[in-house]
Structure 1
Amino acid sequence: MLQALRVRDFRLLWTARSIAALGTGLLDVAVPAHVYAVTGSVLATGLTLAFRHLPALLLGPFAGVIADRWDRPRIMITTDLMHAMAISAVLLARTPETIWLIYAASLGQGTAAAIFRPAAQAHTPAVVGVGPLLSAANALSAFTTGVVGLSAPPIGGLLFAASGINAVIGAAIAASLLSATAVARTTTRSRAHGPTQKVLADLVQGLRHLRQAAATRALLATNSVYLLANAALTALLIPFGVTHLGGSVQVGYLLSALGLGFLLGAPISRRLVDHFPARTIISLSQALVAGAFFLMFNASSLPVALTAAVLLGVPGVTVLIAIHTWLQRATPKELLGRVSSAFVTVEAAASMVGAFAGPAMSELISLPLALNAACAVTVLSALVTLCLMPRGSQVLQGTEGRRSPDPAQGQEHPHAS
């Protein structure tokens, strides 16, 4: 997993993404807490998160065109600066009448993230190649995401409680600027073509590739089902912990156990992804996620639920890394931004539907039945993977049978014209 850090540009890229994720994570608790402190409204607080995730749903395809049309490091630098400018508006929101500035900031923050993510994902193969270092890079990124996801929100909450929203926003702005600086120091460039093609033509070209690439199209479908079920289960996790495990403290233990499993799974998943066909490892991991969820939500004691949560993290991160690595290896580099953004868009849509469907189902039937129904849908995603993905689809194979050179072995970095 650490081998990818031998590549200088990946070290800088990984540093930039880690710092950017830390800055964003600091806001996850602090900004909603600030909104609630100013307005006293649960609805106003929830709208903050809704505005933040909306751009990924609306701008996903266009973000892919941008990632494939312009130099990707410059895109990442620009979006880092956009993020810093957007969140600075929070500093001006001090009364209920000015709370709309936070909604505007959330839209700007979400827009920057929606554009940054496809560019960063598409740029990674240009930096490390599509050989074993790619899965190592993705595993390390997933591990770092887990660490940041566990630590940044509570740090942001503590900083807000101790020093107020100004300190949190200042730290997040500094993180964005540091991320932009790290990306600016890289030397690998990746751009598919100049800005002469029309946006519509680029979108059609990306859709045509998805229609023709059977394995990628199948992966998009099965990932949609999987993410919908996962979002429903996640939305029901806190009510389950409070009503069945004893309260909010037990929920905290459960979330920590999930994070621990995620961290343990990152280095393991890298080896699995490189040694097994994509169809096999993704479907098996999805089935294991369903089994771990079922065990956790039907546990009769907290220790059993915590054990299931740790076990859940390992196949959960394997699904994530396997899909990312498959896309980066199987997609032509000039289309990778658009294909990645299609997955980001579908992920946003599926997550929003699942987040609403899970609680709605629990109201219509009951919480235990809703949880087990979502587990069944997760099993269904594994079956969809087996049925739709072509047999023998290897992660190490690309649609054109290509393999980029490995920069860590003395090869030149691949540069797009």
Structure 2
Amino acid sequence: MVLRNREFRLLWLGRSVSGLGSWLLVVAVPAHVLVLTGSLTATGLTLAAEFLPPMLLGPFAGVVVDRWDRRRVMIAADVLRAFAVALLLFVREPDDVALVYVAVAAESVGTLAFRPAAQAHIPALVGTGRPLTAANALNSATDGAVRLLGAPLGGLLYAWGGIDLVVWPDIASYLVSAVFIALTKPGPRARRGELGAVIAELREGARFLRDDRAVGGLLVLNTAFLGANAALTSVLVPHGMAAWGGTARAGLVMSGLGVGFLLGAVVVRTLDRFRPRAVLAGALAMTAVGFVVLFTIPWAALPAAVVVGAFGSTALILVQTTVQRRTPDAVLGRVAAVVFAAEAAATFAGALAGPLLAEAATIATVAWVAAGITALCALVVAHPPGRDRVPRRP
């Protein structure tokens, strides 16, 4: 049981608590912007602002993660995120919406440092064998539980008491996470160097991605899939408020994603014996079906959300585990940061494209386009051009 590992247990607790606080805002912040402005575009920009910093700064964050004590990086990131979220307490009028984008972007900078530091630190704590799959599955299950609780709870809290009632628990969650991380053992001392050394390390990470075709191929597929997912996420809350009856019900459907994540985390631990390529292709295909049902059949939205969460999480866990296993620890922070930067670029593009396409056509059109992109990714995985892009598990 990976939780018997004290260092991993503390990291898992910190990650879980801060994740719960963050998910309280997933429904509340876009709903607050929509209430203040009435604009789908302004609402979608909250997601775009979240992923702009990782898109621009992701590779440099990877150098920071690989050069500095990852424990201190995570503590500093949590403190930064607490202060950033506090800015939302000052958003009262439509003219204040710009402050939402500033707060979301600043919080994203902290997440940009925390996520690759945590992901790169896990193999160092549990190894790269079966415990790594168990650790990633546990994190995915926790993410599912956080989605299950956080999204509907955030929607209810916002409906009852406004944005303040949601923001204060999120601030507290980041500070509690910092305490848990601070209880872990210190890492190695920071390596210092000049700008030339930083650039050289960036090139080293880029060379690894270029030379390892499996990791590079996964990066491309993961980016396309997450871009499609972001297009739908950017219109999910407005669609839910109109089609499902308000923020509380939108949060309930989003909790279905959490249930799916829990199921996916349980199932993926039994899939090590199967070929990763077949599992990934099937998971992406089923996610594409779930996208269409979620946005076109209102009465089936909740079970469709469970399907999307279960198969989407399976695909993401498989990609993450393969990257961790194939990447040397010395460059894992940089590679993880590049993966997050690509994810951010895709999410930023999807967050802009989703509302624009919805306003030009319909939200159902966005769902069909996203499903088509995801199905194409499944087809490429199942029948890759040239050599196999997703290797069997070592």
Q: Which band: TM-score by shorter chain? A: 0.7 to 0.9
Per-residue Cα deviation, 1:132-153 (whole angstroms, up to 9, x for no partner): 1111111111111122123224
1:20 alignment counterpart: 18
Report if the CA contact (8 A) 2:277-2:381 is conserved.
Answer: yes
Q: Secondary structure at the match of 1:276?
A: coil
2:309 alignment counterpart: 313
2:215 alignment counterpart: 216
d(CA) in 2 for partners of 1:282, 1:33:
33
Alignment of 1:10-409 (within 5 A): 10-31=8-29, 42=39, 47-92=45-90, 101-160=99-158, 165-166=163-164, 168-187=166-185, 189=187, 194-196=191-193, 198-235=197-234, 237=236, 247-248=245-246, 254-272=253-271, 274-294=272-292, 302-303=299-300, 306-362=302-358, 368-386=364-382, 387=384, 390-391=387-388, 393-394=390-391, 396-397=393-394
Report if the CA contact (8 A) 1:282-1:318 is conserved.
Answer: yes
| Distance of aligned partners of 1:370 and 1:131 in 2 relative to their CA distance in 1, 3 Å threshold | same
Identify which range, 277-286 or 135-144, moves more after superposition.
277-286
Deviation, structure 1 residue 364: 5.1
Report if the CA contact (8 A) 2:14-2:177 is conserved.
Answer: yes
| Distance of aligned partners of 1:227 and 1:190 in 2 relative to their CA distance in 1, 3 Å threshold | farther
1:414 alignment counterpart: none
d(CA) in 1 for partners of 2:276, 2:386:
9
Report if the CA contact (8 A) 1:131-1:396 is conserved.
Answer: no
From the CA coordinates, give the structure whose radius of gyration is larger: 1
Deviation, structure 1 residue 278: 2.8
d(CA) in 1 for partners of 2:294, 2:91:
41
Counterpart code for 1:196: G
Report if the CA contact (8 A) 2:2-2:131 is conserved.
Answer: yes
Deviation, structure 1 residue 14: 0.4
Deviation, structure 1 residue 68: 1.0
Counterpart code for 1:84: A
| Distance of aligned partners of 1:241 and 1:339 in 2 relative to their CA distance in 1, 3 Å threshold | same
Deviation, structure 1 residue 325: 0.7
Deviation, structure 1 residue 51: 2.8
Identify which range, 375-384 or 101-110, moves more after superposition.
101-110
| Distance of aligned partners of 1:256 and 1:64 in 2 relative to their CA distance in 1, 3 Å threshold | same
Query: Normalised by the size of structure 2, how large is the TM-score?
Result: 0.85
Unaligned 5+ runs, structure 1? 398-417
Unaligned 5+ runs, structure 2? none
Deviation, structure 1 residue 121: 0.7
1:404 alignment counterpart: none
Identify which range, 210-219 or 342-351, moves more after superposition.
342-351
Report if the CA contact (8 A) 1:84-1:176 is conserved.
Answer: yes
Deviation, structure 1 residue 341: 1.1
d(CA) in 1 for partners of 2:28, 2:295:
30
Query: Normalised by the size of structure 1, how large is the TM-score?
Result: 0.81
Q: Secondary structure at the match of 2:217?
A: helix
d(CA) in 2 for partners of 1:101, 1:362:
25
Aligned-residue RMSD, C-alpha: 3.2
d(CA) in 1 for partners of 2:127, 2:362:
49
Counterpart code for 2:268: S
Counterpart code for 1:281: V
| Distance of aligned partners of 1:177 and 1:202 in 2 relative to their CA distance in 1, 3 Å threshold | same
Q: Secondary structure at the match of 1:275?
A: coil
| Distance of aligned partners of 1:349 and 1:174 in 2 relative to their CA distance in 1, 3 Å threshold | same
1:400 alignment counterpart: none
Report if the CA contact (8 A) 1:227-1:351 is conserved.
Answer: yes
Counterpart code for 1:266: A
Per-residue Cα deviation, 1:68-87 (whole angstroms, up to 9, x for no partner): 11111110011111112323
Identify which range, 69-78 or 92-101, moves more after superposition.
92-101
Counterpart code for 1:199: V
Per-residue Cα deviation, 1:323-379 (whole angstroms, up to 9, x for no partner): 111111110101111111111111111122233334444555555555333322211
Q: How many residues of Structure 1 are paired with residues of Structure 2 in the alignment?
A: 389
